[in-house]
Structure formats: C-alpha cells, structure tokens
A = this chain, B = another copy of it.
Amino acid sequence: MTCKDNTKLSMNSKTTKIKASIITIGDEILVGQTIDTNSFWIASQLNLIGIPVAEIISISDKKEAIIEALNRELKYSQIVILTGGLGPTVDDITKSVLTTYFDDELILNNDVLAKIETYFLSVKRTMLEVNRLQAMLPQKADLISNDLGTATGMWFKKDNKDIISLPGVPHEMKGLIAKIIPQLKEKFQLADFFHRTILFQGIGESQLAGNIKDAENTCKSKNIEVAYLPATGLVKVRLTGSVAQSDFILSTLNDIREKYPQLVYGTESETLEEVIGKLLKKNKKTLGTIESCTGGALAGRIVSIDGASSYFIGSIVSYHNKIKTGIVGVNAETIDQFGAVSQETVESMAKNGRLKLGVDYCIATSGIAGPDGGTAEKPLGTTWIAIASADEIQSKKFIFNHNRERNIESTVVYALNFLRRFILKLN
C-alpha cells in the first residue's frame, strides 16, 4: 500500500527528535467489541504539531499489562499518552496503577470534587460514592481539568519524560487533547508548522497526483510535505511546511484551485454539503431532490448540516416508477421508451420535481445500485444525475463500479459536486 504521507516522519524527526507512543487500555478493544478511534485522533493531533508517533498499542486493563507497556514505551518515546481506565468502576485501574508506578499518592482534590458535584447537578443525575472517589488524584501529577466529564486528566513527569493519562470516552479525550497540544508545543519549542488542506471531488488519487506533479515536486524540493488522503469519490491533499513558507503554500494551493475549479470543492475540513449550504444561503436560493437510486440518502446528507432548513425545502423519493409518474409528473411514455435509468427520465424528474417542490435547484438521481438489475446495455452502477434550474437542465451519466453501498455513496458525492459546479457555472 502506498503511503504518500511517510515523508512526514523523517521531516519531523529531523526537526524535533521527540517521539510519542499511544497506549489504549481496555479489554473492549482486544475482544473486538470497540474500534480504537482514540489513537487515530491523538496521532493526527500530534502529527499536526510535528510529533511523530512511534507506536500505538492496545492492552488489557490489567495492572501487569499497563506496567509492562509503560516500561517498554518509555524506552522509545519522550511522550506516552494513555487513554482509558479512568472511570468510576472497579475495572478502572489506570489511576491507581500510574500513581503507584510514579511513587505518587492519591489525595482528595477539593476543586475537582466541587467540579464533579456541579457536573452531576447540571446533568440531573445522582452522584454516587464512586464518583466522589474520582476526586482522589495523584498529589504530584499536573491535573488537566475535564470540562465534559468526571475523570480528570493526569500529566506525570519522570526522568524527563511526559506521561499523560486521559479518559477513554472520545469526546472527553478530545477536549483534554485540545488543552494538551498547545502545552506540548510550547514545552518542546516545536516549530510552528503551517498546514493547509485542499479538497477534490471527481478524480482518483493516481490521476490527481499526475495532474499536480509539478507543484508536488516544487513543494518537495522546498521540504514541504504533500499528503494524499482518499475517500469514496473524494481526495484530500494536505501541504505541510514552516510558517515562513505559508505564503508559498497558499499561493500553490490557490494556483491549483484556479486550474481545477471543477474538482476543488473546498479547503480544510469543509464537507460538500456544507459548501453547498453556504452557496445556497449566500445566493438566497432553495434546493430540493428527486431521488431514485439514492433513496433519500442525498437529502439525508443535505439535512445533516445545521440550519439546512433555510435552503432545503424537501424531496420526493420516487423509488417506484408510479411515484415518478404519479407525484413527480414524469410521462409514463418516457419511462417506457427510455427506461427509468436514462437521460430522458432523470431530466424529466429534475424538471418536474423542481416545479412540484417549488425550489430554485432540483437534483434528480436514477441508477442501478445493485446487486441486481444490470444489463449488457446498462451495467450495474450505471447512474444518471440531472440538475434543473429555472433556465437550464444539465445531466451526466456515471458508471460506478462498487457494491450497492458505495455506488449510492458515490452518487451522493458526485451529485453534490455537480450542483456546486452548476451553481458556479463550472460545467
């Protein structure tokens, strides 16, 4: 598997020499009950400030396993971040194991106790004795206050190494990581990296790498890292350099954006549905969908955005042809003559649907998502997407080559970018 991101480790180790290890504690990962997403998040945040992760390990919530993992990882890494085992139940032994390991002792922290009491009042739940024990904390460790729960983060120091223990509940862990990252950055006097991400839809990773290879080579010659992060129908490209290189990075990305306005839909963590939402709000336009193969998934994606009600009016999921003819108003003859998956039908769905829903833009989808229904003439994955406005109808055919789930997902992202291009007159 190619990993274009692996230049990063060498770049970082040149500039910093520090390394981190991540230890997740909990049998739920080892028995295959829970996917470890915490390590993924912590690794990504450490990498953003230039701290490479040497190793990620998941271990059992047993004393011996925790001690052995700590002994080992402290040999490799200056920073060890642990998650899990800080809850109030008997299984949660991380705090006591670490306190003993670092020759510390637990004392009642009245500030934390008051905070826990306030927390239980705010969520209107009864505070139990085990929750009170969560205010028993190691005396010498630095405490990192948890605004989203009752388990306090603990930062131990030993032999010039930093050992940080965080709760395993993802949103609590993330809240604490947001406090820790700036402190690590300051403590290790890490150079400020400058990151920018540019987002593409409608081009594969290899083809994109070919298209922008000159820019990539220039970046690499300046020691600016270029990382490709692919997903269904999407590729993210992230450039990482020094703060002094920020102007160069911005102008490089701007050049790419100007050269490929059809493909570049946004920057940083934007989603296509967000970008569409902003465009529609800005232009004071409304949107609706008429969906066959996507079956409501396209509308569902649009509605996932906060405040979608200011531009999204509604949708007709015309899965059965009788809805296409009956409610949407497609002529039965059109379907008879050309089929439900055809340019004629999908354009009629968009055009009639726009009037039925009373919207400025209407997207229509019709395709063969699979696993059945393909023919020699219209193979599995054949999908038509149309967009209608008051003045114009455009349509495109795609042949997606995946399973049902990914064919639907592909149709959704292609439809959203098609709408973006339609609105911006980039088709």
Write the residues of chain A forming the contact surface with B, with a CB cutoff of 8 angstroms. 1-3, 5-6, 8-9, 26-37, 39-47, 52-61, 65, 72, 84-85, 87, 89, 91-92, 168-169, 227, 229, 289, 291, 294-300, 302-304, 306-309, 312-320, 322-323, 326-327, 356-358, 370-372, 404-405, 408
User: Contacts A297-B296, A319-B312, A327-B327 given: A58-B29 contact, CB under 8 Å?
Assistant: no
In the bound complex, do residue A303 and residue B295 qualify as a contact, i.e. CB atoms below 8 Å apart?
A: yes
Interface centre among A87, A92, A295, A299 (most CB of B within 10 A): A295
Per CB-CB distance, the 6 closest pairs between chain A and chain B, nearest first, are A32-B44, A295-B303, A296-B299, A296-B296, A32-B43, A315-B317
In the bound complex, do residue B44 and residue A55 qualify as a contact, i.e. CB atoms below 8 Å apart?
A: no
CB neighbours of A59 from chain B (8 A): 55
Query: What's the dominant secondary structure at chain A's contact region?
Result: mixed
In the bound complex, do residue B229 and residue A9 qualify as a contact, i.e. CB atoms below 8 Å apart?
A: no
In the bound complex, do residue B52 and residue A44 qualify as a contact, i.e. CB atoms below 8 Å apart?
A: no
In the bound complex, do residue B327 and residue A319 qualify as a contact, i.e. CB atoms below 8 Å apart?
A: no
* Complex alpha-carbon distance, A114 and B167, angstroms: 51
In the bound complex, do residue A315 and residue B296 qualify as a contact, i.e. CB atoms below 8 Å apart?
A: yes
In the bound complex, do residue B36 and residue A53 qualify as a contact, i.e. CB atoms below 8 Å apart?
A: no
In the bound complex, do residue B35 and residue A29 qualify as a contact, i.e. CB atoms below 8 Å apart?
A: no
A19 vs chain B, min Cβ distance (A): 10
In the bound complex, do residue B42 and residue A32 qualify as a contact, i.e. CB atoms below 8 Å apart?
A: yes
* Complex alpha-carbon distance, A2 and B297, angstroms: 35
In the bound complex, do residue A313 and residue B303 qualify as a contact, i.e. CB atoms below 8 Å apart?
A: no
In the bound complex, do residue A295 and residue B299 qualify as a contact, i.e. CB atoms below 8 Å apart?
A: yes
In the bound complex, do residue A300 and residue B295 qualify as a contact, i.e. CB atoms below 8 Å apart?
A: yes
Cβ-defined partner of A55 (8 Å) among B40, B58, B89, B300: B58
In the bound complex, do residue A3 and residue B28 qualify as a contact, i.e. CB atoms below 8 Å apart?
A: yes
Interface centre among A3, A59, A169, A322 (most CB of B within 10 A): A3
In the bound complex, do residue B26 and residue A39 qualify as a contact, i.e. CB atoms below 8 Å apart?
A: no
In the bound complex, do residue B309 and residue A320 qualify as a contact, i.e. CB atoms below 8 Å apart?
A: yes
A142 vs chain B, min Cβ distance (A): 23
User: Contacts A1-B92, A296-B298, A303-B319 given: A36-B40 contact, CB under 8 Å?
Assistant: yes
CB neighbours of A372 from chain B (8 A): 306-307
In the bound complex, do residue A31 and residue B44 qualify as a contact, i.e. CB atoms below 8 Å apart?
A: yes
A319 vs chain B, min Cβ distance (A): 5
User: Contacts A296-B291, A296-B299, A319-B313 given: A47-B60 contact, CB under 8 Å?
Assistant: no
* Complex alpha-carbon distance, A3 and B34, angstroms: 11
* Complex alpha-carbon distance, A358 and B318, angstroms: 12
A413 vs chain B, min Cβ distance (A): 14
CB neighbours of A229 from chain B (8 A): 33
CB neighbours of A313 from chain B (8 A): 319-320, 322-323
User: Contacts A56-B57, A84-B1, A323-B357 given: A317-B304 contact, CB under 8 Å?
Assistant: no
CB neighbours of A297 from chain B (8 A): 296-297, 300, 303
User: Contacts A1-B168, A169-B1, A297-B296 given: A8-B31 contact, CB under 8 Å?
Assistant: yes
CB neighbours of A300 from chain B (8 A): 294-297, 299-300, 408
A189 vs chain B, min Cβ distance (A): 22
In the bound complex, do residue A405 and residue B304 qualify as a contact, i.e. CB atoms below 8 Å apart?
A: yes
8 extra interchain contacts, Cβ-Cβ under 8 A, other than A6-B27, A31-B53, A55-B65? A5-B31, A30-B56, A294-B303, A295-B303, A296-B317, A312-B319, A313-B319, A314-B320
User: Contacts A296-B300, A304-B404, A316-B317 given: A31-B60 contact, CB under 8 Å?
Assistant: no
In the bound complex, do residue B55 and residue A1 qualify as a contact, i.e. CB atoms below 8 Å apart?
A: no
In the bound complex, do residue A9 and residue B60 qualify as a contact, i.e. CB atoms below 8 Å apart?
A: yes
In the bound complex, do residue B2 and residue A87 qualify as a contact, i.e. CB atoms below 8 Å apart?
A: yes
In the bound complex, do residue A35 and residue B35 qualify as a contact, i.e. CB atoms below 8 Å apart?
A: yes
Q: List 25 A-B contacts (CB under 8 A).
A: A1-B26, A1-B89, A3-B26, A9-B60, A29-B43, A29-B56, A31-B52, A32-B47, A34-B40, A36-B40, A54-B60, A56-B57, A57-B58, A72-B72, A295-B299, A295-B303, A296-B299, A303-B317, A306-B370, A306-B371, A306-B404, A309-B320, A312-B319, A314-B318, A316-B327
